Amino acid sequence: MPADFVGLSYEVQQLTYPSFFSESNIGLIRQFKALAPRGVLRLGGNTSEFTWWKATPGSSEPEHPQTRVVEGEPQRQYYAVTPEAVRNLAGFLKATGWTCLYGIGMGTNTPERAAEEAAFVAQTLGASLQYFQIGNEADLFGRHLRDPKTWSAKTYLQEWLALARAVNSRAPGAKFGMPDVASDVAWLTEIADLWPAIENPPHVTTLTHHYYFGGPATNPEVNIPNLLKPATMAKVQKTADTATAAANKMGVRVRMTEGNTCYRGGKPGVSEVFAAALWSADYSLLLASNNYSGINLHGGSGKSVANSVGGFLPGDVLLKEKGESPDQIATHPHPFYTPIATFGSEYVMEPVAYGLKFAGELSGGRFLQGDFTSLLQATGVDATAYAATLPSGHVAVIILNKDAEQNVEVSLDFGTGRTGAVETKTLHAPALDSRGVHITPSPEPDRLRDGRYAVTVRHATGVCLTIS
């Protein structure tokens, strides 16, 4: 599990507010550093397909191709990204210790404009830039950006190569991630099969895809029991199997670059409560144990996410139907699934971010192989477990009890005669639907007893044991 496994995803539109990602935004920097000392910020999303590079203050907006208006898809609203925003982003990354995956649009872009933007970004971000991502959710372009009769993984790859090679011409040595599909991971397989025939291919380091458990908010199937049940993670494992097989064929790794609980901004009562923390911890560790290089949970300001999905958040409609007043609605994070919420000038880490932070306890570690989760679930409790040897040489074990009612007894055996200290951190909240989430360390270390340690993991709780 890479030391920088933990990541966040934002819409490119967020760059149209140059003061957001800047070294002067102390509150946001504080929350990024609290989430992870090293992490990866991904900029992309639907709005990346409607941005244009404004190289100088006097630059005129280019003509844009016609796109079809489709309900639920972003409208034809274009956003200018400026050198000031990129320079501020460089300062923000330096202040946080994070790196960046920078999204460049494909849907309404040209190779020349893509190359001009990439050259400035590469020079300005320097070592803080991991790679470029060209295009966002290209598997859905047939809905509004391309002809559905001809659009496919193959035609995408041809178009992507033209843009990537133009970027390479202006930014030699550029690295790339692709194809950033919304859900059709079969595209990864097709691209891996086509890749050997490409002469002098651009330097792709990562195959990328997105994942949302469900959505939109109006879908009654998006609820806490379905979010946490074992079958949900079984489907995640199937996706990971397909993605990692394609990555292995290309000699690269996989990253989940955009995802969360429920697409189109999340669902109140599901996305911003403790259940989302247990889900994000389990989801993160499952992908990490499948050799993913990281994940990026999506969020940002309510306006940027709303613009990316048609202009409004379905969750707000749901709250109005329930009779909540504007003042009550304002107490929820917007979007509902965002890991770091903005309330006025304050930035607040939300439950889903606490789960990501908890999973980050294993960052930099090497997973120990074993069917721990099956052993736990054989007890009839919905629980999962992961273990890793940390760079310090210590062993860490994370047990996530997602069961709403049952506790689980866990016994660890390191061999007769072994000694060592055991430090405990607990991920907890009053209930699965609680807004308040905490990670609480034990006041003092415990000890192994003749190489053994027993712990009771209460229902709806996560425990991290670090054994020296």
Amino acid symbol at 96:
T
User: How far, in Å, CA of 369 to CA of 346, rounded?
Assistant: 42
**pLDDT tens by residue, 293-321:** 999 999 999 999 998 888 889 999 999 99
* Element spanning 125, H or E: helix 111-125
Residue boundaries of the structural domains of the chain: 7-362, 366-467
Q: How confident is the model at residue 69 (pLDDT cuts 50, 70, 90)?
A: confident
The reported pLDDT for the residue numbered 216 is: 87
User: How far, in Å, CA of 352 to CA of 425, rounded?
Assistant: 17
Q: Among 68-77, 232-241, 382-391, whose mean pLDDT is lowest?
A: 68-77
The reported pLDDT for the residue numbered 355 is: 98
Q: Among 52-61, 63-72, 118-127, whose mean pLDDT is lowest?
A: 63-72
Q: Which fold has domain 366-467?
A: Immunoglobulin-like (2.60.40)
- The pTM (predicted TM-score) of the whole model is 0.96
Q: Which two tokens stand for residue 77?
A: 């609203």
The alpha carbon torsion through 156, 114, 293, 333 (nearest 10 deg) reads: -100
**pLDDT tens by residue, 356-413:** 999 999 999 999 998 888 888 888 999 999 999 999 999 999 999 999 999 999 999 9
* Cα diameter, the chain: 74
pLDDT surpassing 90 at residue 73: no
Give the residue-averaged pLDDT of 191-220. 96
Give the residue-averaged pLDDT of 312-338. 94
The reported pLDDT for the residue numbered 76 is: 76
The alpha carbon torsion through 251, 254, 257, 258 (nearest 10 deg) reads: 140
User: How far, in Å, CA of 174 to CA of 217, rounded?
Assistant: 39
The reported pLDDT for the residue numbered 327 is: 93
Mean pLDDT value across the chain: 95
Q: Do domains 7-362 and 366-467 have the same CATH topology?
A: no
387-to-326, 401, 440 alpha-carbon distances in Å: 45, 15, 19
User: How far, in Å, CA of 406 to CA of 461, rounded?
Assistant: 10
3-state secondary structure of 337: coil
> 335, 299 in Cβ contact below 8 A?
yes
Nearest to 42 by CA among 184, 208, 192: 208
The reported pLDDT for the residue numbered 310 is: 84
Taking the alpha carbons at both ends of the chain, their separation in whole angstroms is: 19
Strand-strand pairing, 292-299 and 253-262 = parallel
The reported pLDDT for the residue numbered 146 is: 94
User: How far, in Å, CA of 383 to CA of 377, rounded?
Assistant: 6
The reported pLDDT for the residue numbered 65 is: 85
Q: Which two tokens stand for residue 87?
A: 């320079």
User: How far, in Å, CA of 454 to CA of 457, rounded?
Assistant: 10
Q: How confident is the model at residue 14 (pLDDT cuts 50, 70, 90)?
A: very high
The percent of residues in the chain predicted with pLDDT above 90, rounded, is: 90
Count other Cβ atoms within 10 Å, centred on residue 225: 12
The reported pLDDT for the residue numbered 81 is: 96
Strand partners, 41: 8, 100
Q: How confident is the model at residue 184 (pLDDT cuts 50, 70, 90)?
A: very high
Q: Which two tokens stand for residue 432?
A: 């699965």
Q: How confident is the model at residue 71 (pLDDT cuts 50, 70, 90)?
A: confident
Q: What are phi and psi of 375, to 5 degrees?
A: -60, -40
CATH code 3.20.20.80 for 7-362: yes
The reported pLDDT for the residue numbered 409 is: 94
Nearest to 448 by CA among 431, 432, 427, 467: 467
3-state secondary structure of 208: strand
Alpha helix (H) residue ranges in 220-325: 224-228, 230-250, 274-288, 302-308, 314-321
